[in-house]
């Protein structure tokens, strides 16, 4: 079975490829890499997460680390707690949107951001060498306050009273994942009438955990039945947010970031132009560029991968950013994709605009996306696929930052090896669904 090791961490099947030995060695390598210190650990609700957690604790303790057990909590909550507790780093036990029996490990540094390529390579060399530090264990503490601390940070960045006055009805599909407790709790503090489904941490997952429209049919029906103002869906570790409109229409994950960016710019009209910086990745919708143009803001694009966006946001002091998969990163709360922050920003937008979500969505620049995946056996096969794509579009404007992105006058297509699965990802965007699908067909 495949064990996928990349800048995004490590993922594999439990126990076939993500074995106890692999988990132990990664924990020892991370403790060695950090040189000891405090490490916070959070998990998603997969049954294998609890099993893996004990092994991770053992590895960290053997290298002289102090461990703080955060329990089951969203991935962005782990990032918040790394900075709140001034820890040396953090580990999240999750395979994010991957289905069972996948699980994985994500590694954070002291500012709550995931390891970048240079840091990850240094860390992986320690893992591969098996030259681990051995030191006196510093013990394990339990701290389940992470979700409450995270919520307090989110409440500081919005107009709480404006949202409360609206008494929004919100349907939530937690996918029985790590956000199943956190998001309803936040919404209740905002005075919302919450209609939750799939919020049982004991029974992951009632449907595939990736929050795409085809996996959210029950939530769509619930929004329509209860006449909800909005519907929210999260993936298993709650760093991504998908949105259902008041009409029961899945808006697509790109709309989450587009709405959040537009609202953040609306709320900061007097911000100096050099500070109106929006950071997104190469595969995020061109709608962000259009919104930035309308607000005289600058859109900067990075390689795909949360860490690239986060580091650019931090170094340039950007206003907001994220990825088009429903991942909103708002530095005022933290440098991780964060479904709680995204939900609060969208509710704030609804409250101050006095418009329904369906209308706000129609006011966004309209683009259409088509996506495909191609399985590949190894990196040589993946690279060959990318080279063939370059040849097809050799006379066009090409961006080679990651894989190949072909930029056309009113469309684009991006072909790249996945960071998390043994596949090639193909994504196209155009002014019509037919044009986007035709671009994908050309590549395939």
Annotated catalytic residues are 96
Helices 287-294 and 253-266 cross at an angle (nearest 10°) of: 10
Contact 96, 104 (CB under 8 A): yes
Q: How far is CA 341 from CA 11, 25, 199, in A?
A: 26, 34, 19
| 129 Cα distance to chain centroid | 31
- Please give the Cα distance from 289 to 321 (Å, whole number): 12
- Please give the Cα distance from 149 to 77 (Å, whole number): 8
**Nearest partner of 339 among 356, 323, 327, judged by Cα:** 327
Contact 152, 340 (CB under 8 A): no
Token look-up 């199943």 returns 180
- Please give the Cα distance from 7 to 121 (Å, whole number): 8
**Sheet strands (E) in 44-129:** 65-72, 89-93, 102-108
Q: Which residues pair with 39 in a beta bridge?
A: 67, 89
- 165 CB neighbour count, 10 Å cutoff: 11
- Please give the Cα distance from 173 to 232 (Å, whole number): 6
Q: Classify the C-alpha dihedral 299-304-309-311 as positive or negative.
A: negative
């Amino acid at each position: 079975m495949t064990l996928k090791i990349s800048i995004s961490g490590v993922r594999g099947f439990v126990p076939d490829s993500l074995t106890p030995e692999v988990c132990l060695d990664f924990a020892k390598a991370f403790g060695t890499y950090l040189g000891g210190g405090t490490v916070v650990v959070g998990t998603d609700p997969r049954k294998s997460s609890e099993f893996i957690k004990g092994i991770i604790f053992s590895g960290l303790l053997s290298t002289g680390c102090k461990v703080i057990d955060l329990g089951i909590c969203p991935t962005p909550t782990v990032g918040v707690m790394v900075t709140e507790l001034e820890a040396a780093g953090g580990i999240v036990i999750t395979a994010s949107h991957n289905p069972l029996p996948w699980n994985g490990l994500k590694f954070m540094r002291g500012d709550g951001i995931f390891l970048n390529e240079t840091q990850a390579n240094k860390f992986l060399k320690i893992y591969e060498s098996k030259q681990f530090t051995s030191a006196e264990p510093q013990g394990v503490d339990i701290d389940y306050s992470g979700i409450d601390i995270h919520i307090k940070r989110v409440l500081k960045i919005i107009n709480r009273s404006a949202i409360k006055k609206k008494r929004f009805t919100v349907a939530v599909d937690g996918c029985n994942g790590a956000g199943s407790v956190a998001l309803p709790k936040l919404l209740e503090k905002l005075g919302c009438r919450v209609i939750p489904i799939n919020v049982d941490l004991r029974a992951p997952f009632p449907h595939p955990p990736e929050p795409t429209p085809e996996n959210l049919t029950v939530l769509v029906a619930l929004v329509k039945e209860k006449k909800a103002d909005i519907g929210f869906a999260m993936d298993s570790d709650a760093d991504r947010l998908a949105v259902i409109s008041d009409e029961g229409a899945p808006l697509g994950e790109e709309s989450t970031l587009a709405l959040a960016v537009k609202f953040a710019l609306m709320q900061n009209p007097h911000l100096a132009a050099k500070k109106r910086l929006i950071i997104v990745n190469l595969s995020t919708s061109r709608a962000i560029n259009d919104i930035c143009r309308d607000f005289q803001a600058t859109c900067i694009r990075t390689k795909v991968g949360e860490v690239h966006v986060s580091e650019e946001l931090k170094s340039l002091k950007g206003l907001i950013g994220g990825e088009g998969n429903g991942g909103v990163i708002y530095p005022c709360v933290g440098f991780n994709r964060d479904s709680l922050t995204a939900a609060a920003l969208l509710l704030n937008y609804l409250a101050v605009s006095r418009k329904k979500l369906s209308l706000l969505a129609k006011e966004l620049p309209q683009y259409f996306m088509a996506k495909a995946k191609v399985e590949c056996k190894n990196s040589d096969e993946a690279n060959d696929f990318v080279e063939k794509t370059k040849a097809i579009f050799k006379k066009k404007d090409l961006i080679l930052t990651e894989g190949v992105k072909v930029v056309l006058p009113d469309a684009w297509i991006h072909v790249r090896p996945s960071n998390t699965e043994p596949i090639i990802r193909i994504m196209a965007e155009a002014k019509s669904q037919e044009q986007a699908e035709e671009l994908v067909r050309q590549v395939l």
